[in-house]
Structure formats: C-alpha cells, structure tokens
Amino acid sequence: MKQSLLFAPTLRDMPKEAEVTSHKILLKGGYIKQSAAGVYSYLPLGYKIIKKIENIIREELDKIGCSELLMPALQSKDLWVESGRWEAYGKELMRLEDRHERSFCLGPTHEEVITSVVRDFISSYKKLPLALYQIQTKFRDEFRPRFGLMRGREFIMKDLYTFHANEEDLDVWYLKVRKAYQNILDRMDLHYRIVRADSGNIGGSSSEEFMILCDIGEDTIVYSDSSDFASNLELYDLKVGDPSPDGVGHILHAKGIEAGHIFKLGTKYSSPMKANFVDRDGVSKPIIMGCYGMGISRLLMAILEQHYRDEKAIWPKQVRPFDVHVLPLDKEETPNFMTALDLYKALKEKGIEVLFDDRTESAGVKFKDADLIGIRHRIVVGRRANEGIFEYKDIKEDITKEITLDELLTMDYKL
C-alpha cells in the first residue's frame, strides 16, 4: 500500500513514558497510541501485526479441532456469584451497574460465561469433547499497568476452553493445545520456555506458563542447568546454585514474559455452576474442563522485545506488516518516482505485500521511519535507478547491495 495512506504517525523524539525499547519503538513508530493508563489504540501498523498474530493462533487451534466463538465482554454479576468469584476476584475486576442498578463486570476472563453457555446444551457424554475459543478484549484493573502493552488494563487475549467426560481425555487435549502453543510461538520466532506455574485467580489443579525469555520480563524462571525442570519462582523458592528438585543438575535463574498460561481446571467451575452431563454409565457428573489463555497484545510487544537492533525493529517474517518496503528518493512526478511506482505495481501483482513510501519527505526521514517499521526487505530507488540499478537492503542480515530489476522481480520475499 501507499505509505501516505497508512497513518503510521512517527515521532521524532523518544517518548518519555517508555522505559523499554519495544515500547519506545511502538510509540515512536506510530504502532499504538496511549489513551489512558494501560489503555491503548492500536493504529493501523500495530493492528496489522495484531491480526497476523491472531491468524497464526487461529490456524494452529483450528488445526487441532477447536472452534471460534465470541462471547460478551459485559458479564452479569449473577454468573460470578455462582462461581464464587464475585468476591474472590477482588479489585482487579472492573465492576459497573446499569440504569436499573443491576451489577455487571467487564470480563477479565470467561470461565463463567463459557460454562453457562455450554451447560445449557451439553447433557450427554456423546457431545464431548468440545474445544471453544475466542479472541477478545479483556479488562483488568491492574494495580500497576506498565511497559505499555505488557500489562494493560484493557488488552487482547485468546482464551480457549475445553470440555471432557474424563480426566484422560483432558490430558490428551491439554497436550494437543500445549503443542499448538509451541507451534504458535515457533512461528513468531520466539525464544521461550515452558514452566510450571501457580494457578492464581483462575484456579484448577495444575498449570504451565509459556515464558518468553527476556531481561525485562516481570517473572523469574528457575530452571535446571541439566534437565527439563523449569518453574516460576512463585512455586519454588530456589536460589542460583541450589540442587534442582528433580535431582538433576543445579538451579539457574532467567527473566520471562508470560505469553500464555494453560490450566487443567477439572470441575472448579462446572461443579458450583452445575454444568453436568450424563456419562456412559448413566450417572450425572460435572464436566471436566481445561482453559488456555494467550496474550495477543502482550505478544506484539514481546515479539519486538526479542527482535530489534539499535532501537530499530526487525519483525519476524510471519508477523511483519509488509514483505517489502520500496523507497523512492525523489519526489512525485520525477522519473525516479515513476520507476519506483512501476516496481511497486509489479511486485504487488506478484501477490507480495509491498509498502511504497510515496510521501513527500526527505530521504533522511524516509530512512528513519523505515527503521521503525522494520520490514526485512528494503528497496531504495536512488540515483542509479535510471540505469536499472537499485539498492537492496536486508535489515535482518544487515547487508546492503546493488541489484538489478530482474533480480528484484525474481527474489523470494517470503524469507
């Protein structure tokens, strides 16, 4: 698309409120704009990446048999009283009243709603298992919103819930979702570690977190230097050098950003909310559940936190906003600009996602903005364009070279 129509309002100076590099780049590059503490607008560039993240998640979940639905953000108090969480959830729950003084909350998570949806339709083991997910805005009145999208008060989450007739089936699905999560994070070129975790406000018997390894992470991971043992520090108070609890090796520490959290809920919600089914043996039992969250807006920032160099973005290929960035150095209606426009059209016709910098800006501004947008393949249409020679820059490998039109037209931009 033409960059003049993109609306990526870049800033010249570093925003003062940003403490971490990914947040700086997102603000400076015009990906997001803060609206209130912990509340953001996703501008077109940021939203384009959000949609790519969402689609990767959709593809991997649909592949294992999950179905997407969309539940309301506005949830009635009655449901939360049924589960016992209206009191238990505390101040993080955003509560409100309607004009008839009926109480509601803005959903921080959806165990209550999904359980109430399913209980009215699933009465027999013949209808199980079932796996339902949504991608939706969540609300949590976090005590300390910080690091931009990392800890917001309004944020985008994918939440999946599974329903089973027995524990064995839950175990099978838990592992399927765990593998899907690995595929999702692998497709975003993330370095992460799966760790044992505290089930917190959501509850249930056991849970694991997917931690993106990063110095700015708020969580501390304790792990063995010689086995698979890895846990959130919340569960085991282990110091560096302590023997690992599994008897193999010694403990190291690392910082992590929690991207996802998967739980075996068991009957924590189905029992109090009376979501029962009649089993093969004719006996009525509470449905066994699992739940699986993934922070989509948090991922936007976490991906960038692992993919920048010198405060310049380098987006991984499956989430980058465009595949190629074409920059003419001369203004509109010059031969140089027309050559660039032809190149843009030719690449677009090949089905490549191209961003064409048609703006009336100096070369310096165009380069600075391109560094913030972070598209791997950059083509500069410069002085030698009239001879058919272009400048190609691979920002991932940090290589710049002169290249001919033929080479440009046959290059693999999906890399």
For ligand ATP, give the closer residue by CB, 30 or 204.
Answer: 204
- 326 close to 354: Cβ distance less than 8 angstroms: yes
Residue selected from 113, 122, 157, 395 as contacting ligand ATP according to rule CB under 6 A: 157
Q: Does 293 bind ligand ATP (CB under 6 A)?
A: yes
List beta partners, residue 264.
206, 290
- Residue 7: which of 32, 30, 40 has the closest Cα? 30
Residue selected from 18, 81, 202, 252 as contacting ligand ATP according to rule CB under 6 A: 202
Q: How far is the CB of 86 from ligand ATP (least distance, A)?
A: 17
For ligand ATP, give the closer residue by CB, 129 or 293.
Answer: 293
User: By CB under 6 A, what part of segment 93-112 binds ligand ATP?
Assistant: 109
For ligand ATP, give the closer residue by CB, 52 or 151.
Answer: 151
Q: Does 151 bind ligand ATP (CB under 6 A)?
A: yes
300: three-class secondary structure by DSSP? helix
User: By CB under 6 A, what part of segment 386-405 binds ligand ATP?
Assistant: none
Q: Does 91 bind ligand ATP (CB under 6 A)?
A: no
The site string for ligand ATP over 309-348 (x = CB under 6 A, - otherwise) reads ----------------------------------------
Q: Give how many residues touch ligand ATP by CB under 6 A.
A: 18
Q: Does 259 bind ligand ATP (CB under 6 A)?
A: yes
- The residues, any chain, with a CB within 8 Å of residue 222's CB and separated by 6 or more, are 230, 231, 232, 233, 236, 238, 251, 252, 253
For ligand ATP, give the closer residue by CB, 148 or 286.
Answer: 148
Query: What amino acid occupies position 123?
Result: S
Q: Does 140 bind ligand ATP (CB under 6 A)?
A: yes
Q: Does 152 bind ligand ATP (CB under 6 A)?
A: yes
- 197 close to 234: Cβ distance less than 8 angstroms: yes
Of the listed pieces 125-133, 176-184, 288-296, 351-359, which binds ligand ATP according to CB under 6 A? 288-296
Q: How far is the CB of 305 from ligand ATP (least distance, A)?
A: 13
348: three-class secondary structure by DSSP? helix
List beta partners, residue 309.
312
Tokens 């294992």 belong to residue: 64
Q: Does 216 bind ligand ATP (CB under 6 A)?
A: no
What single-letter DSSP state applies at residue 71?
Answer: -
**Number of residue whose CB is nearest ligand ATP:** 295
Tell me how far CA of residue 233 lies from CA of 146, 200, 379, in angstroms. Answer: 21, 14, 47
Q: Does 268 bind ligand ATP (CB under 6 A)?
A: no
- 262 close to 181: Cβ distance less than 8 angstroms: yes
- 76 close to 102: Cβ distance less than 8 angstroms: yes
For ligand ATP, give the closer residue by CB, 68 or 142.
Answer: 142
Q: How many CB atoms lie within 10 A of CB 241?
A: 10
Q: Does 264 bind ligand ATP (CB under 6 A)?
A: no
Q: How far apart are CA 300 and CA 302, in angstroms?
A: 6
- Residue 45: which of 393, 375, 398 has the closest Cα? 375
Q: Does 298 bind ligand ATP (CB under 6 A)?
A: yes
For residue 35, the surrounding DSSP H or E stretch is strand 32-36
Reduced DSSP (H G I as helix, E B as strand, rest coil) percent helix, strand, coil of the chain, to 5: 30, 30, 40
Q: Does 266 bind ligand ATP (CB under 6 A)?
A: no
Q: How far is the CB of 377 from ligand ATP (least distance, A)?
A: 30
Q: How far is the CB of 340 from ligand ATP (least distance, A)?
A: 39
- 201 close to 295: Cβ distance less than 8 angstroms: no
For ligand ATP, give the closer residue by CB, 217 or 328.
Answer: 217
The residues of the shown chain that bind ligand ATP, judged by CB under 6 A, are 109, 140, 142, 151-152, 155, 157, 200, 202, 258-261, 293-295, 297-298
